[in-house]
Structure 1
C-alpha cells in the first residue's frame, strides 16, 4: 500500500489520515509510536460486502475480507485480524486459502471470533423442533415392528426444508476406505450423532453357516460377488423389510481388524440367507468374539430413541425422538449436508484461526493439503459432526491448541510433516485438545490421532471413546507426553491405545512415550490378553516408554510383538492384569510369517540405503541391524511353513540384531483390586527348540502387595507422597507428576470436561454373574449399577434400565424389576450417552403355583387343578424356549473360540519371565 504500512515512527494521526485517504475501506488500529500497527477487519451476518469492514460497517462474508487482504500490496506489521461476529455462517463450498492469503513472520493473518461470541462455519442444515411432525400415514406406521413406536414417530419434509442432496451409503472397511467417497447425510441432536435404524439394536448376531464364500479379496480390491450367509430363525423378521435395495451389513467376518460395511445384494427371508454385493477381505471364518454383524438402514426397525431413517424417494426423514429432543424447548438439530471440506489451506504460511466452530460436512472438516504449509495455528477451535476426518494436516510448524474435536465419521486428527530422509523435524504440535467419539462411520484404523513424518509433539490431550486405537504412529522422533486416554478400542480386539506397526521399516524409530495416563480400557473376551495400553506390533523397534501410569484394566499394559531395542522403564502399573507381554518372533510360527514377509523389504532397504552415512546412524544399533548375511534372505523366502526351520538357527544367530533385547526394568506393579494374570507358566520358551537367546531383559522391577505410597488410591490420585514406600525399595524411582497429565485450564479452556462412561456394571445382589435370578409373578427385585471410570465428585452419570421383554418383567428408572408373567428376560443397564455401553443379567419369572393352590376348596378340585398345572408347566417349559427366542429377537449373543497360533505370550513382572502358549 504505497509503502506506508512499513514505515515506523510516524505520528498516529498522520497514519490514520493517510491510510484512510488511500484505502477508505479498512479499519486499523495504531497502538503507539513504537508499537506495531495491527489492522482489523470485521465480518457480521448483519453486515454488507459493500461496506468498509470496520467495526461499525462490517462485511457480510468471510470471503469478502479474504479478497480485501489478497488485494493489498503489503501486509501491515503486526498483521491483520479478521474478527467474525456472532452467528452461524452457512457455506455450500469450501472456504479455501492459498499462498496469496498468507501472512508473514512478523505480520500473520488471523481469523477469529470477536471476544467470546459464538461463531460457527457450518456445512449443515439446522432444523427447528417445529419442522418435525407426527406421522399419520398408516402405510408407514404399519411397517414398524414395534407397536409402541407408532405414536412417537416423527417426520421431516426434506423437500420443504430445501434439502436435495442426501448423499448415499457406500462401501467401506479395512483397505476399502475410499477417501474420495464422502459419507451420507446424518442427523445430530443436542450434540449427539443419531443412529441410522438398525437390527439388532446394540448387539451383533452371528451367521449359522457359510453358504458361499463369494470372492475372497486381496489387499485393496473391490470385486462384485460377495458371500452368502445363513442366519437363525430370528432373521425371519426380515420378511417385513421393504427397502431391500439399500440395506447394509456392518460387522466383522474374519480377523478382528477386517471390519467392513457391505450392501445387501440379495435377501431370502424364507431361507434366512443374505448375499453381499462385494467380495470380502480374507473371506469369512471364525476368528474370535469380535466377529458378528448387524443390519442397517431399515425403516421397519425404528424402535429405539435416537433411531432415524431417510426415505430418499419420498424425501422424508423419520425419527424416534430422544429424551433430550423432547425435553428441550429449542434443541440443537443439525443435518450434515455439505460434501466438501469446510476449510482448505494449500501452500499457506503464518495464518491463525481462533475460537471458531466448524461443523456439518459429510467430508473432512479442515484440510491442510500436501505442499508448503508452515506456521499455521488453530487455537481454541471446535470441529464436530463431521462425516470423515476432523483435521488433516500436512506441513511444518502447524499447531492445534486448546481445541475440541468430536463426533467424527473417521479419524480425529491426521498430522504429517518433516523429512524422513534428513530427519528434519516438522515441529507440528497437538496440545491440550479434547478428542472423542471418532471412527463412528469408518470404524477401523481411524484413530483420534494419526502421526506420521518426523518430530510431531502430542501432549496434554484427553482422548476417549474410540472403536479402535487412540493414537497410531509412523515415522521418527515423535514425542507423546502427558496425555490421558480411556475407553479405547471399544469394539475391536488385538489393539492398543497407542499402536505402532513399523517392523517393515526398522529405520522409523525414536518415538518417546512419556508420562501418559492410560486407564479404563477393557477386554472384550475372557482371554484378558486381547487389548493393550501400548502395542508395538509386528517387529516395531526403538521406542522408549517411561514414567507412564497404566491403571484399571483387565488386559495388558505394554505388548512388544516381535520387535526390539524397546525400553520400558519407571512405569507404574496399577490394577492391570498383565503389566507386560512379549512375543519373540524367532521362536513362533507367527514370527515365521512376519519375518518371511518383511525380510525381503529389509534386504531392499539394505541395498538402497546407506544408514551409516545418513542421520539415522544416531539410532543405537540400527546400522548393525542391517549387517545380516544376504545369503539367508533367499533361504528365508523359500520356507514352505513355520515347521520348516532350516535357516532359523543360522538366521537367528546371524541376526541377533533382528531380535535384540527389549528392556523392561525398574517398573512398579501394584494389583490391589484387580489380580494379576496367574495362568502363565515359567520358562516354556526354553523348551521349544527355537533358538537360545532371550528377547527380554527384565531387571529391578518391583511387585508390591501394599500401597506404594499414593496420595489417595481410593479416589484415583496416584501422586506419590514424599515418604512413599516405593522410595525405600527403589532409590531412583521418579515422582511422576500425575496432576499434570491430561488437559489443563487456560484462556481458551476455562474448565475441564466431565468423564464419560466407558463401562457399566449391573449389580445383582446375592447372585453370581451367570446365575439366573428367579422371581414369581408380582415379586420385585432391586438392581443397581456402577460405572467406570469413576465419576468425579458431584457427577452422577445417567443410567437407563431396560427389559428385553416387558410382557415378562418390567424395570423402572430406579432399577426395580417386577415379574409379570412366566418366561426368561434380560434386564440391562445402559449409559444414557451411549446405549451400546451396557451390562445385563438374566431373570426367570415363574407362576405362583402355591398361591393358586391355596384358593382351591376341595381335594378333587385340587387334584384336577394339579394335573392341569403340570400340563401348564409342560407348556410353560415350551414357552420358556420361545420366550428366550423372543427376548433375543433383537439380541443374539455368541461365544468365540481362539484360533491356535502357537504364539508364546510373555508376562514380565518383578524381573521374572513368565510365558504361556495360547491354546
Structure 2
C-alpha cells in the first residue's frame, strides 16, 4: 500500500505541475519554455501551420505531436508540455502513433487533455450525415419481416461516401469474428440477428436434432430468408467456455435443416444465434450492410437524425503510444474496427477518459508504473483493460494502479474469457509480472469474467462487481488459478447477482452455476477475506490449492441452484496433481506440459517464465513454494504435514441461510483447517444498515460479532467508485 500511495502522490504532483503552467508561455516550436512549462492548443477548426496558441490553434493530433517534437529538440522543458484539445471530433481513419521518440521524462511530462472539460472525441469512425439517409427500395422492404421494420428501416450509401464496405469477418490474427462496425449514439448496433440481443438475457437458441454439420431450424427462421449467402452464426456449439463461429452454407426446405461450416459442429447442449441477415433486422439499432453495393440498412431510432451514428474504419488500434511519462485526460476514444488503445511504456496515466466502441480490446498496456483512473469503458468487443507488467529476477513491484473505473457492456463479440480487467499472459518476460492494485472499480454487464489475472502480488480491494457471468457456467466473476499468481489479496469487495441466464435443461451439462471468486487449477497463495457475496448461482468461493486463506467473508444465498448447501467449495485437484507415478492424461497436460496454460511445475523451473524462482527474495515472499518439489512422497492420511494444501485455512466465514456450509472433498477436509464457519438463519443477524436498500454497513451491535468474536466484515461503505478528485 505504501508504494501505491507514493505512486498516486507522484502522479498528482505531475498533474499539479501541468495545470499551473504559465498561461503566457510561448507555444511556437521555436520558443523557449520557462520552468512552468509550455501549452499548445488544438481545435478541429484550427490550422497546423498556426502557432498553436489559444487564439491560433493547430488542427490535428499529428500537427500537435509534430509541434511537441520540435519543442523538445531545444531541451530545457522541465515544466513539461500540455496539449489542450478544444471541443470537437478528431477523425483518425488510420492509427495515430506516438513512438519512443515522443516519450516524456520525469522532468518533462507530456499531457494531452480536453480544455476546461470540453467534449473531445478521437474517433476511428466516419460520421454519417443525417441528411443522406433515404428510404430503402421496395425490394428491400419486401424482405423485411415486420411492418415496424418496413416503416423504420432507412438506407445509407456508405460506398458513395468513399467508405470501404468490404466484409471484415476475421481478426488481424486470422480468427473468425462478428463483423460489427456500426455505433449509434455511442452504443453498439447489431448486424441483423436472431434471437435479438437483450443484455443479461439468454439471447441464444439450442441446437435441435444436430447431426454432423446440420441441425433442424425448429424456429423456422431460415425459410424466410432470400438466401443464406453471408449469414453467420456464433455461440458455444459444444463447450460452455469455448466460443464458436460458423458460416451458414446451406438450407434444405424439405427437411428444414441448416448446414454450417465452422469451428465446431452443432451439439445437443450447444447454443447459437444467427447474424448478418437482412430479414432478421427487426428491432431498433439492428442493421444490415450489403458489402457489394455499400448500402447500409438501419432500423433507426426515433432520434437518429440528432445523435451521432458512426461506422468504424480505423484498423488495428485507433491510438498507439510507445512512450513514458504521458497523461491522457478527459478524452473520448472510440470506434475501432479492431481495438482502441495500445500503451507500451512506463509511468503513464489515463484518467477521466471514455473508451468505447470496438470489436477487440479497449485498452491494452505493457509496462510499469502506469495509472488508469476514473475512466469509463463500454461497448467493447473483447476485454476492457488488459495488461502485462515486467517479470524480473528482482521481483520489482510494478506500481500499476487501476482505480475508480466504470466498465460495462464488454466482451460483446468475444463472449468467453474476456474480462473487464485482465492482467497477464503466458509468455516469457511478461506473464503478468509483480504488483498491481485494482481498486474502487464498478463492473457489470459482462457475459463471462469480470476480473482475471496471472500475476503476483496483486491487490484487489473495494471493487463492486455485479451482473456478470450470465452466459457462463464453469467460470467466476473473479477468475484466477495456477501457481503463478501468488501473493494475491482479495479483500473488501462486493460481488452480487451472479446468475446464469439459462435455466437447467436436461440436455445441458451441469456447468450452469457461475461462481463469485473462482480459484481454478490448484491456484495457490491467495488471501480472500472481508468480502461480501450476495446471490450467487454457484459457490461464492472455490478453492483447491496450497496456502489459501479464506476468512471473514459474508456469503448470502450462494450455490442457489444446489440448494445453498455449499457457500464455499473445495476440491482435491491439487492433491492429485502432485508428482507421482501417474504422468498420463489431464495431470500430465496441466502439470508438466510447458505449452499448457496450467503448466504448474514448468513455470516454476523455467527461468524464462520465472526468473526469480529459487532466489532469496522469492523464498521470503513465497515460502510455501520452496517445499513443493521436495515433497513428492507423502501419506495421504498424514494430518501433520499436509503438503498438498500447505497452510490453507477456511475459517470464520458468515453464511446464509442456515443450511449453508462448506462443500469440501475428503482430502481437503483432512488436510485443511476448516472451522468456525457459522450459518445464520435470518439476514438481520448480520446487522446491515439497510439490506434491501443496498447499504451493507454492519452495525457494531450485530449478532454476527457474538457468534464470531473478532469478525472483520467488508468495509462496505467504501466499496465502489468515489467522486473523482
Which bracket does the TM-score occupy, shorter chain normalised? 0.7 to 0.9
Q: Can you list the C-alpha shifts for 1:489-526, whole angstroms capped at 9, x where unaligned? A: 12121110110132xxx243111111111111114344
Q: Can you list the C-alpha shifts for 1:424-456, whole angstroms capped at 9, x where unaligned? A: 222111111101111111111111011122211
1:368 aligns with one of 343, 353, 359: 343
Q: Find the counterpart in structure 2 of residue 111 from structure 1.
A: 112
How far has the Cα of 1:734 moved from its partner?
A: 2.1
Q: Find the counterpart in structure 1 of residue 622 from structure 2.
A: 619
Q: Find the counterpart in structure 2 of residue 713 from structure 1.
A: 691
Counterpart CA distance in 2 for 1:246 and 1:389 is: 25
How far has the Cα of 1:699 moved from its partner?
A: 1.5
Q: Can you list the C-alpha shifts for 1:660-686, whole angstroms capped at 9, x where unaligned? A: 463111111233xxx8569x9x99x55
Stretches of structure 2 that go unaligned for 5 or more consecutive residues are 1-21, 198-202, 425-431, 505-509, 559-563, 594-599
Counterpart CA distance in 2 for 1:571 and 1:654 is: 27
Counterpart CA distance in 2 for 1:652 and 1:595 is: 22
Q: Find the counterpart in structure 2 of residue 188 from structure 1.
A: 183
Q: Find the counterpart in structure 2 of residue 383 from structure 1.
A: 355
2:704 aligns with one of 719, 722, 726: 726
1:344-363 correspondence runs (5 A): 344-346=320-322, 348-363=323-338
* Pair 1:461-2:461 in alignment: no
Q: Find the counterpart in structure 1 of residue 678 from structure 2.
A: 702
Q: Find the counterpart in structure 2 of residue 534 from structure 1.
A: 517
1:546-565 correspondence runs (5 A): 546-560=529-543, 562-565=544-547
Larger Rg belongs to: 1
Q: Find the counterpart in structure 1 of residue 205 from structure 2.
A: 205
* Pair 1:664-2:650 in alignment: yes
How far has the Cα of 1:149 moved from its partner?
A: 2.4
Q: Find the counterpart in structure 2 of residue 575 from structure 1.
A: 557
8 Å CA contact retained: 1:469, 1:497: yes
Q: Find the counterpart in structure 2 of residue 816 from structure 1.
A: none
Q: Find the counterpart in structure 1 of residue 216 from structure 2.
A: 231
Q: Find the counterpart in structure 1 of residue 592 from structure 2.
A: 600
Q: Find the counterpart in structure 1 of residue 6 from structure 2.
A: none
Counterpart CA distance in 2 for 1:181 and 1:37 is: 51
How far has the Cα of 1:659 moved from its partner?
A: 4.1
8 Å CA contact retained: 2:77, 2:108: yes
Q: Find the counterpart in structure 2 of residue 885 from structure 1.
A: none
1:481 aligns with one of 446, 456, 461: 461
2:255 aligns with one of 271, 276, 284: 271
1:512 aligns with one of 489, 509, 516: 489
8 Å CA contact retained: 2:159, 2:293: no
Distance of aligned partners of 1:525 and 1:539 in 2 relative to their CA distance in 1, 3 Å threshold: farther
Q: Find the counterpart in structure 2 of residue 241 from structure 1.
A: 225
CA RMSD across the alignment: 3.1
8 Å CA contact retained: 1:26, 1:53: no
8 Å CA contact retained: 1:406, 1:436: yes
Q: 3-state DSSP class of the match of 1:69?
A: helix
Q: Find the counterpart in structure 2 of residue 310 from structure 1.
A: 289
8 Å CA contact retained: 1:243, 1:298: no
How far has the Cα of 1:249 moved from its partner?
A: 1.1
Q: Find the counterpart in structure 1 of residue 150 from structure 2.
A: 150
8 Å CA contact retained: 1:439, 1:446: yes
8 Å CA contact retained: 1:182, 1:388: no
2:238 aligns with one of 235, 249, 254: 254
8 Å CA contact retained: 1:182, 1:363: no
Counterpart CA distance in 2 for 1:486 and 1:166 is: 38
Q: Can you list the C-alpha shifts for 1:796-852, whole angstroms capped at 9, x where unaligned? A: xxxxxxxxxxxxxxxxxxxxxxxxxxxxxxxxxxxxxxxxxxxxxxxxxxxxxxxxx
8 Å CA contact retained: 1:477, 1:511: yes
User: Which segment drifts farther, 506-515 or 106-115?
Assistant: 506-515
* Pair 1:566-2:545 in alignment: no
Counterpart CA distance in 1 for 2:241 and 2:515 is: 15
Counterpart CA distance in 2 for 1:514 and 1:179 is: 40
2:367 aligns with one of 395, 417, 439: 395
Distance of aligned partners of 1:735 and 1:185 in 2 relative to their CA distance in 1, 3 Å threshold: closer
* Pair 1:521-2:492 in alignment: no
Q: Can you list the C-alpha shifts for 1:195-228, whole angstroms capped at 9, x where unaligned? A: 211123354223333432xxxxxxxxxxxxxxx1
Q: Find the counterpart in structure 2 of residue 808 from structure 1.
A: none
User: Which segment drifts farther, 81-90 or 262-271?
Assistant: 262-271
* Pair 1:95-2:96 in alignment: yes
Stretches of structure 1 that go unaligned for 5 or more consecutive residues are 1-14, 31-35, 213-227, 633-647, 748-919
Counterpart CA distance in 1 for 2:697 and 2:64 is: 50
Q: Find the counterpart in structure 2 of residue 786 from structure 1.
A: none
Normalized against structure 2, the TM-score is what? 0.84
User: Which segment drifts farther, 582-591 or 564-573?
Assistant: 582-591
Q: Can you list the C-alpha shifts for 1:523-562, whole angstroms capped at 9, x where unaligned? A: 43446972111000111111111111111234321011x3
1:831-842 correspondence runs (5 A): none
How far has the Cα of 1:92 moved from its partner?
A: 1.4
User: Which segment drifts farther, 572-581 or 469-478?
Assistant: 572-581
How far has the Cα of 1:488 moved from its partner?
A: 0.6
Counterpart CA distance in 2 for 1:120 and 1:603 is: 47
Distance of aligned partners of 1:334 and 1:627 in 2 relative to their CA distance in 1, 3 Å threshold: same
| Residues paired across the two proteins, number | 660
8 Å CA contact retained: 2:624, 2:646: no
* Pair 1:745-2:717 in alignment: no
Counterpart CA distance in 2 for 1:91 and 1:180 is: 25
1:833-912 correspondence runs (5 A): none
Counterpart CA distance in 2 for 1:539 and 1:658 is: 10
8 Å CA contact retained: 1:26, 1:54: no
8 Å CA contact retained: 2:316, 2:336: yes
Distance of aligned partners of 1:661 and 1:256 in 2 relative to their CA distance in 1, 3 Å threshold: farther
How far has the Cα of 1:563 moved from its partner?
A: 2.1
Q: 3-state DSSP class of the match of 2:650?
A: strand
Q: 3-state DSSP class of the match of 2:105?
A: coil
Where in structure 1 do 4 or more consecutive aligned residues deviate above 6 Å?
26-29, 179-183, 586-592, 648-655
1:135-174 correspondence runs (5 A): 135=136, 137-170=137-170
User: Which segment drifts farther, 732-741 or 352-361?
Assistant: 732-741
Distance of aligned partners of 1:78 and 1:494 in 2 relative to their CA distance in 1, 3 Å threshold: same
Counterpart CA distance in 2 for 1:395 and 1:328 is: 41
How far has the Cα of 1:246 moved from its partner?
A: 1.4
Distance of aligned partners of 1:425 and 1:166 in 2 relative to their CA distance in 1, 3 Å threshold: farther
Counterpart CA distance in 1 for 2:244 and 2:668 is: 42
Distance of aligned partners of 1:652 and 1:25 in 2 relative to their CA distance in 1, 3 Å threshold: same
